[in-house]
Amino acid sequence: MLKLGVNIDHVATVREARYRGRPVGEPDPVAAALLCEEAGAHGITAHLREDRRHIQDRDVWALREKIGTRLNLEMANVPSIVDIALRLEPDIVCLVPERREELTTEGGLDVQAQVAAVQASCRRFRQGNIEISLFIDPDLNQVKAAAATGAGFIELHTGAFAEHYHDPVAGERELNRLAAAAEAAHALGLRVNAGHGLNYENVPALLRVPYLVELNIGHSLVSRAITVGLAAAVREMLAAMAGYTGGSPGPSAGPTPGTNPTKT
């Protein structure tokens, strides 16, 4: 079964738009996480950024205390956040690149350029019994580098696939890149998650990618929740993901990018 991890960062973004710097405010990302769990989500993802633009320290500690599923802490590989993660003890951390000027994570971590630094953090997390994922582009060199770090998971950055989804040729090219990266990761003993830019329209095509364990989705779910409510939005995404059998690079395994109808 393909699992759904709900990223609640965008709930915190709405709160911070009015209550930034204050100890309380609405909406509450922790309450949102609990609603997602009740609706069937398999895990909760939160990104504790260095600039604290959305998720705050109090949020991750409350999530660790209150949620009953899997807590995935997205984070930059910097000492201050590593130290927080080791004390927090999430179920898994996902190391991502981070730039202050970006609106959201814009690309995968360049593991190949910083293998030693990633290895060092992976050792610390393994000693703390915390699983590690690396958020990388679907590039075979990055997959190989990830396998050398001691991480157990990669999360494939699906942003280019999502960006080109409505172009059948470019969308198919990006889908094939994701499939090849997943195949290579599996052969190297890595487990494979995926996320970024995924929505109700493009997820059915993504199900052609093999060996997926979990999809991490945030913005599309929060956007849909404005119309139908968060629980319904989660259930609709779970329905879009249903029937995943491990995927296949072959065209018969799912719709061609740009051909399936938009969710309304």
74 carries an active-site annotation:
yes
- CA angle centred on 33, ends 185 and 197, rounded to 5°: 45
Are 110 and 90 a contacting pair, CB within 8 Å? no
From the list 74, 155, 174, 183, the catalytic residue is: 74
Closest CA to 97 of 114, 116, 80, 72: 114
47 carries an active-site annotation:
yes
Tell me the β-bridge partners of 93.
Answer: 73, 132
SS3 content of the chain, % helix, strand, coil (to 5): 45, 15, 40
The Cα 139–Cα 184 span in angstroms is: 10
Are 118 and 95 a contacting pair, CB within 8 Å? yes
From the list 47, 54, 157, 164, the catalytic residue is: 47
Give the number of other CB atoms < 10 A from CB of residue 243. 11
Q: Report how far apart, in Å, the C-alpha atoms of 73 and of each of 64, 150, 173 are.
A: 10, 18, 30
Are 247 and 208 a contacting pair, CB within 8 Å? yes
Q: Report how far apart, in Å, the C-alpha atoms of 241 and of each of 58, 200, 253 are.
A: 32, 9, 13
- Start-to-end CA span in the chain (Å): 25
Q: Which residues are catalytic?
A: 47, 74, 196
